[in-house]
Amino acid sequence: MDSHRSSFGKAHEEALQKDLLRKYAAVSLALGMTRGTLHSVLMSDATPEEIKHMLDLTSTSKIAKKLGLEEGDLALCPDDYLRDGESARIKGF
């Protein structure tokens, strides 16, 4: 019986890990898309419509919906996953 619980626990943990990586991949994709648009803005290549379109595409609510999730399912506190000081360094402090 313990081996069944152990294998179930491991399978559940693997499923949670896969789900977290899927969410991370979606947010990473949105970040890359946003960075590309910001580059176009800096180079004066992006129109206001393209900028608005990118803002719409990369909203967490839209990303979640495309994954079949709720917006809150993508929410996480960076401080729960980053080491001390990493958040400040990423923000440029």
- The DSSP code sequence of 63-87 is HHHHTT--GGGG---GGGTSPTTHH
Q: Which of 3, 5, 25 is nearest to 13 (CA)?
A: 5
* Cβ–Cβ under 8 Å, residues 54 and 34: yes
In single-letter form, the type of residue at position 90 comes to I
Residues 79-93 pLDDT 10s: 888 888 898 898 888
In single-letter form, the type of residue at position 9 comes to G
The answer to whether residue 40 scores a pLDDT higher than 80 is yes
Domain boundaries, the chain: 24-90
Residues 4-25 pLDDT 10s: 567 778 888 999 898 888 888 8
pLDDT band at 65 (very low <50, low <70, confident <90, very high): very high
Residues 42-60 pLDDT 10s: 898 888 999 899 889 989 8
What's the pLDDT score for residue 66? Answer: 92
Tokens 């949105």 map to which residue? 30
Higher pLDDT, 78 or 65: 65
